[in-house]
Amino acid sequence: MKLPPLSATLLPWYEKNKRPLPWRDSRDPYRIWVSEIMLQQTQVKTVIPYYHRWLDAFPDIASLAKAPLSKVLKLWEGLGYYRRANNLHETAKVIVENHNGRFPSDPAMVYSLPGIGKYTGGAILSIAFGKSAPILDGNVARILSRIFALDDPVDTPKGLKKLWKLAALLLPEKNPGDFNQSMMELGATLCLPQEPACLICPVSELCKAHETGKEQDCPRKSGKTKIKKVRAACAVVSRDGRVLITQRPASGLWAHLWEFPTFRIAEKEDAGSFLTKQLLTAGLNAQKITLKTSLRRAYTDHVENLEIYGCELSPERSKTLSVPDAPFSGQWVKPRELKRFAFSSAHAKIIREYL
């Protein structure tokens, strides 16, 4: 396959049109790492204030490594995909312990760090260290699929292998970091999923999908990913001016975050009876359970309908949460004290709107 001279066209365009983002033009691997992790699945305008707050609190790897996890999670609150914050914290500790606090520049070492995959590793290596490391995210996959009018679905191993190969072949020897950033910028500003701005695109003359009018057909997807629907019930339990919160386990989704007790329930389950039983096993006698509202949470492979129930306890004193067999443990906290704890976005919304 003859490769189009992409970098010769894209680099001057990027130099002239790049958005002035706070992490742009930095060669500090720590800053690039933090920005790339924050930008995963998250829009630039959402990330910017988090990025500034993060760097004020943790200006370098050492300060992040020695911070308590509760502070790290509190700063991340609202940004979603909390595993990213846990990984940043864990990896900072590994870098302090194994690399004297300096971000490694050796590709094998970078790719072996926890939470750093091929994409993030490629971004850090190319932008911070000028190494010839390709990147491939949704934006770059879309651009390459269109420029080469690829038939292979981008969500299959075969399609991904081809795209990684192309991303590596197109990488110029000089300025690989700027080239990678120019691809990200093109995908974020012009080569958009729904309405690509081909008329003002700097590479339109090199783009096969544009030439053949197939922009909307690329990238192709196998359509094999089926999004499941699931249900969850959340109990907002109050007693004596305090509300019950529980902490998530140390691993898995929303590790270490706090929430109102929440349970996955079956499609036809009666949520009121289910929550009554759950609360009873923790020594809490619910007298009245009322549906307040429901929220929709979307994940990569499923959509969750989170039903929020207000739970009134029976006037005869319910026991404290110290029952050995209780399905969860928790704390009774005054509403004004809740800001000391880190919650996922859905639970932060419950606090804002119902407490």
User: Strands 330-333, 228-239: parallel, antiparallel or unpaired by DSSP?
Assistant: unpaired
- For position 209 contacting ligand SF4 by CB under 6 A, the verdict is yes
Residue 146 Cβ vs ligand SF4, minimum distance, rounded to whole Å? 4
Among 79, 203, 233, 342, binds ligand SF4 (CB under 6 A): 203
Report the candidate in 127, 120, 161, 125 with the shortest Cα–Cα distance to residue 144: 161
Residue 200 or 227: which CB sits closer to ligand SF4? Answer: 200
Residue among 155 and 211 whose Cβ is closer to ligand SF4: 211
Residues 14 and 181: beta-carbon distance below 8 Å: yes
Taking the alpha carbons of 21, 27, 31, 36 in that order, is the dihedral positive or negative? positive
Beta strands (DSSP E) in the chain are: 228-239, 242-247, 258-259, 262-265, 286-298, 302-313, 330-333
Q: Site size for ligand SF4, by CB under 6 A?
A: 15
| 219 lies in the site for ligand SF4, by CB under 6 A | no
Least distance between ligand SF4 and beta carbon 208 (Å) = 8
Least Cβ distance, residue 46 to ligand SF4 (angstroms): 24
29 binds ligand SF4 (CB under 6 A): no
Do 279 and 237 meet the contact criterion of CB atoms below 8 Å apart? yes
- 194 versus 300: smaller Cβ distance to ligand SF4: 194
Kindly tell me the burial class for residue 349, based on how many C-beta atoms sit within 10 Å of its own C-beta (0-12, 13-18, 19 or more): middle
| Distance of closest approach, residue 143 Cβ to ligand SF4, in angstroms | 5
Q: How far is the CB of 190 from ligand SF4 (least distance, A)?
A: 5
Q: Answer yes or no: 36 catalytic.
A: yes
Q: How far is the CB of 210 from ligand SF4 (least distance, A)?
A: 4
**Could you tell me whether strands 302-313 and 330-333 are parallel, antiparallel, or unpaired per DSSP bridges?**
unpaired
Nearer to ligand SF4, 77 or 215 (CB): 215
- Kindly name the residue from 15, 36, 267, 337 that is annotated as catalytic: 36
Spacing of C-alpha 283 from chain mean position? 36
Which 97-156 residues touch ligand SF4, going by CB under 6 A? 143, 146-147
Closest separation between CB of residue 145 and ligand SF4, Å?
A: 9
Using CB atoms within 10 A of its CB, is residue 28 exposed (0-12), middle (13-18) or buried (19+)? middle
CB 211 within 8 A of CB 146: no
Q: CA-to-CA distance for 78 and 115, rounded, in angstroms?
A: 20
Among 145, 204, 246, 318, binds ligand SF4 (CB under 6 A): 204
Nearer to ligand SF4, 110 or 203 (CB): 203
Q: Counting contacts by CB under 6 A, is residue 207 touching ligand SF4? A: yes
Closer by beta carbon to ligand SF4, 39 or else 191: 191
Scanning 16-24, 80-88, 189-197, 319-327 for contacts with ligand SF4 by CB under 6 A, the matching segment is 189-197
Interface with ligand SF4 in residues 147-176 (CB under 6 A): 147
For ligand SF4, the binding residue among 125, 190, 286, 306 (CB under 6 A) is 190
Our finding on whether 257 is near ligand SF4 (CB under 6 A) is no
Alpha-carbon separation of residue 223 from 139, 157, 322 (angstroms)? 18, 14, 48
256 and 250 Cβ atoms separated by less than 8 Å: yes
- Evaluate the omega torsion of the peptide bond into residue 219 and state whether it is cis, within 30 degrees of 0: yes
The residues of the shown chain that bind ligand SF4, judged by CB under 6 A, are 143, 146-147, 190-191, 196-198, 201, 203-204, 207, 209-210, 215
By annotation, the residues acting in catalysis are 36
